[in-house]
Structure 1
């Protein structure tokens, strides 16, 4: 932590219970992300039979969520800068609730894909707005931990969804309808919770509503915190004009934007989401039955949750950069071992071991830390638009990953794509080592100056 921040934090106090409360409510958007992310893994064996899916359609159906997420991020960026973070979160919850019902009652493949695309709009909006909102209401010393709460709710969503899928799997060929329909419940809870949230103080200052911003900040911290934060925000917004997507590539902010885009793409092309979305395919290739396939999704969810707590514990201690370096290199090595195990048709137990080690590595590093970095490295004046660009890039990469895996697995064998992902992780390690600077313990305004320097 730098000396300036240390002096500031010695003179202020925080309402930690309030900060954590509003962070968790906002992070329920992450739960929706986790739900729709995981539900497909348990539902795919039923959807293959229901809609007679080939490799191309299996990939497109899975990836249609990402296409909706792209649209959702573009909508969210405009809404976030024009109307505030809170209205966008409310709209995301409403869209998700309606689309969950739409998927559950789908009578054709085209209807299912359209409603899954609509669910993606809600997920995309929440995936951008939830971490952005948390970063903007959190003091610098605990910002990493608080933004990681969003990742925590994602993995809780994944685990609970996997448990529900496993429980519902014995309910016959229509079990997938219940799996998707259950998403309505957390969506409605999120919608109710967002009504209680205050608006982001940084957005309020940008909108010229300083008095409201001061009231929000006074609930978060003491007078010293309110004064210093308002001063920092106002300084960072001096001379700001309305931003467009072209503005995020101006020379002064280009380094931060390029780092954000690359990290977002890397988080997806590292390949771990193939494990989450195609668990059944991976374990089917080594002879596991449907019950074992779905049980493995539960194990993945548990390990993912446990090691997310490890990341939350360390992200403000070890820092962002060391965790990213560990995760990218660790995944590269584990993928090579996993690929070889699948290639020689090792037992399901050995495959499970290496899959769970990969999940633990990802959950400790790339999963939460990428979202933390995206939420904090962009300047205040373009944070909404720049976050949109980065997260749109993330969802494009996710679509490419999940769409191509069934096709690559059909042509190369289930093990083949993992050799490719190992190479991508090694390239990611080299990029982080060369271009990513440490951000822990700095205010958003101090980071803005740092990114300009670098």
Structure 2
């Protein structure tokens, strides 16, 4: 591939990955603010731990909505304009969450109505996250050449984790040297408001990138599609790629189960397992977990930064490995590491011996996730669905992911009140089941074009299609 074409692809990818960065930023900003929100809302309004958990996780309601809507918007208006909508929602949410009193309430006087308004702004941001989480990897997957597609889509996961790391630094910087009273009254507002900067940058840069050639072809805009493909491939390859894309649209109707039920179910279960292993418990509640080890507020946020750095390093390992070793081996290895880490945390909880060993096991767990289930699930979801149903199928898979995320995150405080050991044991069991699921059912997609993967699904029964895709037979 010529250097200027590679540079063009990378630049487009980097713009699209800002959606991933905001995904990570928006979902992790709550980690620094949730303790203050508990004091500002839950304690002042005498709310239960379940109500606080629902507030911390309220953005996930929007994520589910955004995930469901992503199929309609990305199919009706295109991948690019769906991302523009997501960027606008991020911006509104950042400013509204920081100052929910705007227009209707008195500053600094919590009430049930203000709590509802705060959650509404968080849900708006969640809709943006749901849209971006589905469409950013879809956009990259439809732009990228097959031999580097895994690496480029994995960059979106890197951006998610980098966004989390950035906000860990931002939260720590805001809280550093400040009194708890200042953080609980003002600091948490700065944390939410800081998201407006990357949101505005994302919004502006999106106007500089093209629509994907596969979406353009689906709208019979072959001239525009060829123009984009010619910037990615040599002219002859661009023409043959466009012919292959158009052929894929002629093969079957665009009904969701045109290629069988099984492949849609695989996408859904990949998404559900990615959440049921408990990753977002570690991400959302990291400072609180570290505080339970005896760390102060500043120290707990600094330990969260260490965890964020580990996450970035192991996501890079996944980016380097995913097109070399394949998707399935990374997922299985990651599941084994997550099992070790989560059962280790469970053992510490049962023994009531929370300490440095817990931090080590959490790092083993999160590192294993970041080198496998974090990036690779997004790669697979962007790859396994045929062109005609990709928007709909990705929307369902992503909505299922956010529903599972919401269930796990909102019930964590209540589960921990019952038994910390049992809570972490549950996540460990899910890690074991995730490995078995991948081994038996998940297709390997390394090195194949999206249209080649689609051809393997076009004949036979749903079960036969699935077995062909996964490489299994009776």
TM over 0.5, shorter chain? yes
CA distance in 1 between partners of 2:65 and 2:268 (Å): 17
- Aligned pair partner of 1:330 in 337, 356, 359: 337
Secondary structure in structure 1 of the residue aligned to 2:324: coil
1:19 and 2:19 aligned = no
- Paired residue for 2:18? 28
Given that 2:31 and 2:283 are in contact with CA atoms closer than 8 Å, whether structure 1 keeps it comes out as yes
Secondary structure in structure 2 of the residue aligned to 1:257: helix
- Paired residue for 1:50? 40
Offset at 1:62?
A: 2.1
Given that 2:174 and 2:187 are in contact with CA atoms closer than 8 Å, whether structure 1 keeps it comes out as yes
Secondary structure in structure 2 of the residue aligned to 1:248: coil
- Paired residue for 2:27? 37
1:358 and 2:365 aligned = yes
- Paired residue for 2:385? 378
CA distance in 1 between partners of 2:248 and 2:123 (Å): 37
Offset at 1:83?
A: 1.5
1:60 and 2:69 aligned = no
- Aligned pair partner of 1:162 in 165, 168, 173: 168
- Paired residue for 1:93? 87
Q: Deviations over 1:234-280 (max 9, x none)?
A: 11100554x4xxx3234x33221111100000001111110011113
Task: Map 1:208-227; keep pairs closer than 5 Å.
Answer: 208-227=220-239
CA distance in 2 between partners of 1:294 and 1:103 (Å): 21
Secondary structure in structure 2 of the residue aligned to 1:287: coil
Secondary structure in structure 2 of the residue aligned to 1:237: helix
- Aligned pair partner of 2:71 in 56, 65, 77: 77
Task: Map 1:173-212; keep pairs closer than 5 Å.
Answer: 173=184, 174-212=186-224
Given that 1:13 and 1:221 are in contact with CA atoms closer than 8 Å, whether structure 2 keeps it comes out as no
- Aligned pair partner of 2:96 in 88, 92, 102: 102
Cα RMSD for the two superposed structures? 1.5
Structure 2 unpaired stretches of 5+: 102-113, 458-464, 470-474
Given that 2:38 and 2:52 are in contact with CA atoms closer than 8 Å, whether structure 1 keeps it comes out as yes
Offset at 1:289?
A: 2.1
Offset at 1:54?
A: 2.9
Secondary structure in structure 2 of the residue aligned to 1:442: coil
CA distance in 2 between partners of 1:450 and 1:329 (Å): 30
Secondary structure in structure 1 of the residue aligned to 2:256: helix
- Paired residue for 1:248? 256
Task: Map 1:113-152; keep pairs closer than 5 Å.
Answer: 113-152=119-158
* TM-score for the superposition, normalised by structure 1: 0.94
Given that 1:25 and 1:193 are in contact with CA atoms closer than 8 Å, whether structure 2 keeps it comes out as yes
- Paired residue for 1:294? 301
* TM-score for the superposition, normalised by structure 2: 0.90
- Paired residue for 2:279? 272
Number of residue pairs matched by the alignment? 438
Structure 1 unpaired stretches of 5+: 1-8
Task: Map 1:418-429; keep pairs closer than 5 Å.
Answer: 418-429=424-435
